[in-house]
Amino acid sequence: MTLDPLAGQLAPPAKIVNLARLMAEYYQGQPLVPVAFGTSGHRGSAFKGSFNEPHVAAITQAVVEYRKSQGYKGPLFLGYDTHALSEGAWRTALEVLVAQAIPTIISQDQEYSPTPVISFLILEHNRLHPEALADGIIITPSHNPPQDGGIKYNPPSGGPADVDATGWIEKRAGELLKKPESIKRVPLYRALTASHVEAKNFITPFVESLGQVVDLKLVSEAKLKLGVDPLGGSGVHFWEPIAERWGLNITVVNPIVDPSFSFMTLDADGAIRMDCSSPYAMANLLKIGDLFDLAFGNDPDYDRHGIVSGGQLMNPNHYLATAISYLLANRPLWPKTAKIGKTLVSSSVINRVVTGAGREVYETPVGFKWFVKGLLEKTLLFGGEESAGATFLKMDGTTWTTDKDGFSMTLLAAEILAKTGRAPHEIYASLTEKYGTTDYGRVDSDLTESDKNALAKFEVASLVGQKCAGQTIVEAWTKAPGNQASIGGLKAILADGSWFALRPSGTEPKIKLYVESFSGADFQAQITQDARALVLGC
């Protein structure tokens, strides 16, 4: 991808979304695109007819019917982030839920609700009330641009719904989208005052429990100076209570909530995107990163983390390896036979770190849903994705969240520094001395019909023994080794441990090529060139 000349600079007026027009399209525009659940719910934009009020109403009605079919009798936690469409969609969803007499819990004062907080609240409720299981709906398109919206369903497991649930909901929502008159709703003013809608404080219980997953007393004693950029996201009002409760020196460098995200610096492609793993989107924090011992940011629904250590934004794979290495050495109460979960497109340095610690890796396709069951049953200690999302068990070895948690992952960086006296980037440097240095990258390109057909018909076994960048391919899979689930593409491993993976995107018509080289940047570039030719013939 060519770097946009404005990348890392403040968004000019021409890039700022017209919020009035966006909301008009949400309420009055036609749904031109069917409901489609990707790796994390349904996403789209009102401008494109892919996220309009009928989509949200149909999906919410489908969730109601699904939870009834499963016998879930507890409340549904309804949360939303700071995107403009999230506010509207939250209201639409509440109108549908109330009309169906679903007991619904919303945040006090209609406060924004981060994804990990909803996961935490679901699990806490179900621990105390197993006879009346709760679930949740979260309105968010994650780090996507301001004009986008998203909606996802978390069942009583607390994490992203599995493919059976999302398949059922997607199919039923598609049917309802064609007959909107069958969807029951009540006006918003009635929904907000309904007897089965309860407003609760979401912030205090989560903040109080954070000390069970990260050693915040240790962080407090170290008197670290921490900087936080919420990137205008749903966790913005959590940091002051966290600092006050745990005695932390936290500076929120930008407390602004603006649905246009006009304060953002542009991402690599020139779009406004709240991607805390991008140095271009995090440019504002990077400019002042040296004012703090550590600084970090999160995306709008707080399921991702970005760590500024030594004045630089850590590569997400590097921080995952660092976090895992530290946790395995500093959580003595964790189950001894449990594994570390990673997606198969995450760095293989993680595999080496885990093996070196005497543990096993549980490698899955892309999507956090593959870690939910293991985290819930404590057969997984940690689940992490290459896209800067992860969560892990409490210090006593019990479940924390089963969805990605940007709070615990950022605060863990502070614990690492407080405990070891070394910043996360320094620890990663020592890991590379032991396990090797890699060059990692991803190339996205348009997915053509011929590419799709070639990938579907490709015999992966034929890759083994072939040469790629001059090295022999020793393994090739179409199923993840951890759970034998289809990866929707393929992964091939070379003799030195370098690898490439090719898969269609779950959210857009793109094909993604991931490459990691243990033999330098030139070797990575050669793998990138050879891989497409080997698989797609181009």
Tokens 């271009």 identify what position?
A: 280
Question: Using CA atoms, how far apart are residues 18 and 7, in angstroms rounded to an integer?
Answer: 21
Structure tokens at 420: 């070891």
Question: Using CA atoms, how far apart are residues 107 and 204, in angstroms rounded to an integer?
Answer: 11
Question: Which amino acid would we find at residue 167?
Answer: G
pLDDT given at position 455: 83
pLDDT given at position 507: 64
Q: Could you count the other beta carbons within 10 Å of the beta carbon of residue 473?
A: 22
CA atoms within 13 A on the CB side of 398: 8
- Asked if residue 322 lies in contact with residue 424, where contact means CB atoms within 8 angstroms, the answer is yes
Quote the DSSP letter at residue 409: H
Three-class SS of residue 76? strand
Dihedral-angle region of residue 465 (phi above 0 means left; psi in -120 to 50 means alpha; beta otherwise): left
Quote the DSSP letter at residue 39: B
Whether the CA torsion 66, 98, 200, 127 is positive or negative: it is negative
Which listed residue (119, 142, 220, 498) is catalytic?
A: 142
Please give the span between the terminal C-alpha atoms of the chain, in angstroms, as a whole number: 18
pLDDT given at position 538: 65
pLDDT given at position 355: 98
Q: Calculate the CA dihedral of residues 347, 384, 345, 514 and round it to 10 degrees.
A: -80
Question: Using CA atoms, how far apart are residues 475 and 505, in angstroms rounded to an integer?
Answer: 23
Question: Using CA atoms, how far apart are residues 380 and 354, in angstroms rounded to an integer?
Answer: 12
pLDDT given at position 1: 61
Q: What is the β-pairing status of strands 76-80 and 135-139?
A: parallel
Question: Which amino acid would we find at residue 536?
Answer: L
Question: Using CA atoms, how far apart are residues 302 and 304, in angstroms rounded to an integer?
Answer: 5
Judged on CB neighbours under 10 Å (0-12, 13-18, 19+), 242 is: buried
Structure tokens at 471: 């090295």
Helix, strand, coil share (%) of the chain residues, nearest 5: 40, 20, 40
Quote the DSSP letter at residue 205: H
pLDDT given at position 73: 96
Quote the DSSP letter at residue 51: S
Question: Using CA atoms, how far apart are residues 209 and 123, in angstroms rounded to an integer?
Answer: 13
Per-residue pLDDT of the chain (538 residues; tens, 9 = 90+): 689 999 999 999 999 999 999 999 999 999 999 999 987 799 999 999 999 999 999 999 999 999 999 999 999 999 999 999 999 999 999 999 999 999 999 999 999 999 999 999 999 999 999 999 999 999 999 999 999 999 999 999 999 999 999 999 999 999 999 999 999 999 999 999 999 999 999 999 999 999 999 999 999 999 999 999 999 999 999 999 999 999 999 999 999 999 999 999 999 999 999 999 999 999 999 999 999 999 999 999 999 999 999 999 999 999 999 999 999 999 999 999 999 999 999 999 999 999 999 999 999 999 999 999 999 999 999 999 999 999 999 999 999 999 999 999 999 999 999 999 999 999 999 999 999 999 999 998 888 888 888 888 889 999 999 999 999 999 999 999 999 999 989 999 999 999 999 998 766 778 999 999 999 999 999 999 999 899 987 6
Name which of 138, 165, 197 is nearest 62 in CA terms.
Answer: 165
List beta partners, residue 499: 493, 516
Longest dimension (CA), the chain: 68
Phi, psi torsion values for 207, nearest 5 degrees: -60, -45
Domains defined along the chain, listed by start:
17-205 (3.40.120.10), 214-435 (3.40.120.10), 439-536 (3.30.310.50)
408 belongs to the catalytic site = no
pLDDT given at position 232: 98
- Asked if residue 437 lies in contact with residue 327, where contact means CB atoms within 8 angstroms, the answer is no
Question: Using CA atoms, how far apart are residues 350 and 327, in angstroms rounded to an integer?
Answer: 13
Phi, psi torsion values for 517, nearest 5 degrees: -115, 135
Indicate the helix (H) or strand (E) that contains 231: none
Structure tokens at 438: 């890699």
CA atoms within 13 A on the CB side of 9: 9
